[in-house]
Amino acid sequence: MIHKKAALAVAALPLLATACSMQGTQPASIAALGEMDRCSAVSGTLFGAREAQGRWVAADANAALPAYCEVTGTLSPAAGSNIGVVYRLPANWNGKLLGIGGGGWAGNVTLMGAAEGLKKGYATLQTDAGHSGTSVWDLSWTSNPEAVTDFQYRAIHEMTVAGKQLARAYYGRPQDRSYFQGCSTGGRMALMEAQRFPGDYEAIISAAPVYSLQVQTSAVLRNNTFAQPGAGFSKAQLQLVNDAVLKACDAQDGVTDDVIPNPRTCNWKPAELQCRPGQSGQCLSSAQVNALETLYRGIRTPDGEWAMFPLSMGGELGWPLFIGTEGTGQDATGGGGLTSLTPLILGQPTFDFSRLNPDTDVPRIRSSEFARAYEAVSPDLSAFFGRGGKLILWHGENDPGPSPVGTIDYANKVARAVGTRADQSLRTFMLPGVEHCRGGPGADMVDTIDAVDRWIETGQAPDVLIATKADSAMKRLVCRYPQVARYRGSGDQNDPQNWTCVANQNGA
């Protein structure tokens, strides 16, 4: 008769053999433990991190947040690389992962950034993008070459690989789906994932993407345009311009709501406000008129690329957020951070950006080694689309930072690069009256997470979105570019059913 302890040992041998054969191929699972015990049992060995720990967070009814395990740790794929990661694993997991991008020159590990996904049951993946600083305009960390590489493209990918490994160990099974969303810098990160790491996500949302250094050169050249003698604007003068533009073009979509449906089809001329001889007040100088014409038109480099993206008519009141409109030649962002990158993009310690030449300096900046790794400009998404990947691009028409023209240009380049596959895998939306990621007079809230989830699960691509505005009754239909929404002429203008999608004027 076999002793009881011996029998148990014999029975355990197959399990031990299985565990040994799996060692090194996948992390051990802690899924059998209770929620709080499972969270406290999290260690770096589960997902290849150091300084890892789990902390159980109770549900917050006031914030409508579920209970979740917050896991923090540091990933070091190379000596000198320190990628901080935060994973939030909800008790009511929907089986899907949501990666989240950063903003400015920083990552994003905040609960605010994860909240939308958590409320929907997603396990969220976040990173500091390779440096712990949270100031979006601080670039002191660029003295570390590995931190630069992390921010350029490596941190999001490493966060994603480790996050999938952690989720599998924590929940005892792999995810069903994985999506990524980001705006601004996060939008660049989103495109970088689609271009460099097409297997990381099934669907990607890229909003207002700062995908090239054209955004930063645009900021500098805009500052320089306003800094020309007599070309600066007071707040009252920006209001004067905005009033005139809205009077000319606001009603293009059938309603008057301080929103221009497509600024590129507005034919208002700044010269209409130029002061006549002897006139003063409520008019503009010739220098101001010239500045507006340049800003609305944009500036090209000799090869036809943008050195300065155009600014949108109707968005004038939001310009001071990113631009030195008063004429000092400087703004709070340092030209979107470009002035702090001088050694990396120009190979010299200092540079007078007030003399930035669009014909020579901008091509030089964009051909730098830094730019080649940082810019997410490749339109060839055939690898991502080929495995069923879906991409939603969206941009606010009033954005004073990255221009909606840049996002439209990229979408058009993708369509040319991949042909008919773009119609199956890409959707582009322009949000009228919306500034950078949020804000402005337009309806600025769209549920793109649910949109890509339905697309993946049903195969039905979204041709319209519904946009709302916090603390407002505004609700609008947003049409797939290049169509625009137009009011039918009767009924509640805040009911999307009373709007229809029509062809864009001039196809712009």
Query: Is the pLDDT score of 10 beyond 60?
Result: no
Please compute the mean of the pLDDT values over residues 260-268 and round it to a whole number. 97
The answer, yes or no, to whether residue 1 has pLDDT greater than 50, is no
In this structure, the number of other CB atoms found within 10 A of the CB of residue 225 comes to: 24
DSSP string, 188-215: HHHHHHHHH-TTS-SEEEEES---STHH
Check pLDDT > 60 for residue 328.
yes
pLDDT tens-digit series, residues 456-470: 999 999 999 999 999
CB 170 within 8 A of CB 93: no
Q: Any idea which of 6-20, 106-120, 196-210 has the lowest mean pLDDT?
A: 6-20
Show the CA angle centred on residue 136, arms to residues 132 and 137, nearest 5°.
110
What's the mean pLDDT in 109-117?
Answer: 98
Question: What pLDDT is recorded for position 330?
Answer: 87
Summarised one tens digit per residue, pLDDT across range 282-297 is 999 999 999 999 999 9
| Phi, psi for 40 (deg, rounded to 5) | -70, -20
Confidence at residue 289, expressed as pLDDT on a 0 to 100 scale: 98
Which residue did the predictor score with more confidence, 413 or 23?
A: 413
Residues with Cβ within 8 Å of residue 22, at least 6 apart in sequence: none
Percent with pLDDT over 90 in the chain: 90
pLDDT digits (tens, 9 = 90+) for 347-392: 999 999 999 999 999 999 999 999 999 999 999 999 999 999 999 9
| 482 prior amide bond cis, ω within 30 | yes
Is a pLDDT exceeding 50 seen at residue 440? yes
pLDDT mean over 123-138 = 94
User: Pairing between strand 96-100 and 68-75?
Assistant: unpaired
Q: How far apart are CA 398 and CA 378, in angstroms?
A: 25
- Residue 188 tokens read as 């660049």
Q: Are 494 and 481 in contact (CB under 8 A)?
A: no
In which band, very low, low, confident or very high, does the pLDDT at 279 lie, cut at 50, 70 and 90? confident
What pLDDT score was predicted for residue 507? 53
Per the prediction, the chain carries an average pLDDT of 93
Is 477 strand, coil or helix?
A: strand
Which of the four pLDDT bands, split at 50, 70 and 90, describes residue 425? very high
As given in the structure block, the two tokens for residue 306 are 């943008």
Confidence of residue 3 (pLDDT cuts 50, 70, 90): very low
Three-state SS at 306: strand
Domains of the chain listed by start with CATH number: 35-212+376-462 (3.40.50.1820), 215-372 (no CATH)
The pLDDT value given to residue 405: 98
Write down the residue that tokens 């069923």 correspond to: 388
The 8-class DSSP code of residue 152 comes to: I
- What is the pLDDT at residue 29? 82
| Cα–Cα nearest to 324, from 314, 313, 333 | 333
**Confidence label for 332 from pLDDT (cuts 50, 70 and 90):** confident
The pLDDT confidence band at residue 508, using thresholds 50, 70 and 90, is low
Compute the distance between CA of residue 365 and CA of residue 356 in angstroms, rounded to an integer.
10
Residue type, 492: D
42 CB-near residues (< 8 Å, 6+ apart): 30, 52, 53, 54, 69, 71, 166, 170
pTM (two decimals): 0.93
The stretch 384-401 carries a mean pLDDT of 98
* Closest C-alpha among 107, 73, 106 to residue 89: 73
In terms of Cα–Cα distance, which of 365, 373, 372 is closest to 348?
365
State how far the Cα of 469 lies from the Cα of 164, in Å rounded to an integer. 34
Give residue 506's pLDDT band: very low, low, confident or very high (50, 70, 90): low
Give mean pLDDT, residues 15-40.
64
Q: What is the pLDDT of residue 23?
A: 36
Give the contacts of 447 (CB within 8 A, at least 6 positions apart).
465, 466
Say which amino acid occupies 72. T
